[in-house]
Amino acid sequence: MTSGADLSRLSLNTATTKGLTLVDAVDGAARAGYGAVGLWRDRVQEIGADKAAKVVADAGLRVSSLCRGGFLTAADDAGIASALEDNKTAIVEAATVGTSELVFVVGGLGANPGPGEPARTPTDAAERDAGRDVVATRQRVADRIGDLAPFAAEHGVRIVLEPLHPMFAADRAVVSTLKQALDLAAPHPADVVGVVVDTYHVWWDPDLEAQVARAGAEGRIASYQVCDWLLPLAADPLLSRGYMGDGYVDFPTITRWVTAAGYTGDVEVEIFNQQIWDTAGDAVIRTVAERYAALVQPYL
């Protein structure tokens, strides 16, 4: 139970309650005593960024982040132009809904599917060969961040790089560790390019404690996202996230590291899991709060 628990820093990421509209997710979070919500662009675009901002503000909540920008790995002129245009739109959306933090999933070697969408296999030898150059792909990510950083700064929005577990390097993110994300951020001011510590993606990293400390020292921790790593992996591994305490992540230890690094912002719970998506929204919101109160909040 969460009676008496301090949920003021708890944020419901709308991906966790995929079946709820933005209005219903915000209402559920507010009734449960959360302090914030993390918004996905699909939900924002259903009602418009201005209305989304009003819905959240009227409920007395903060917007902890907007997901997601990124997918910066295109090598052709048309793909680059499309990525830049979409990310500039996302930056404006973030500013409009009232958050300074826009989470970037940087893109993989091949096509960039959305949550729950299968990866696309390259169709010819030339595409396969081009798609194997991970060093060049990461350089394109660095170049696009450089292109977008001035626009983000003009709008008071920070590009927040999210390293994803290495098993997603081929299709979603060629940035796999917090160190790689920090190295990409390093050429830019900390209030323009930061990083997110997402337990699902980085819990395994033997260098995690040192890199969290580095991120804190550089002032680059823009978001702390929590959910658990489940086994066996789902057919789509992206959907193998679970409630805190149901898997293998050591939340007290990682939370202590993030706290020691000086992070005082919101803690988002972002879960992709079909069984959780099929559960009634209020029950999910309640369970998230209970697990947060037991496994995260005491160590903040």
pLDDT tens digits along 58-111: 999 999 999 999 999 999 999 999 999 999 999 999 999 999 999 999 999 865
In a domain, 166, yes or no: yes
In a domain, 55, yes or no: yes
In a domain, 1, yes or no: no
What tokens does 145 get?
Answer: 């961040």
CATH code at position 282:
3.20.20.150
In a domain, 238, yes or no: yes
pTM: 0.93
Whether a cis peptide bond, with omega within 30° of 0, leads into 68 is: yes
Domain count, the chain: 1
10 Å CB burial of residue 135 (0-12, 13-18, 19+) is exposed
Q: Are 200 and 165 in contact (CB under 8 A)?
A: yes
In a domain, 3, yes or no: no
In a domain, 164, yes or no: yes
In a domain, 122, yes or no: no
Q: Are 169 and 141 in contact (CB under 8 A)?
A: no
Q: Which domain holds residue 233?
A: 10-117+128-299
The tens digit of pLDDT for each residue in 236-283 reads 999 999 999 999 999 999 999 999 999 999 999 999 999 999 999 999
In a domain, 212, yes or no: yes
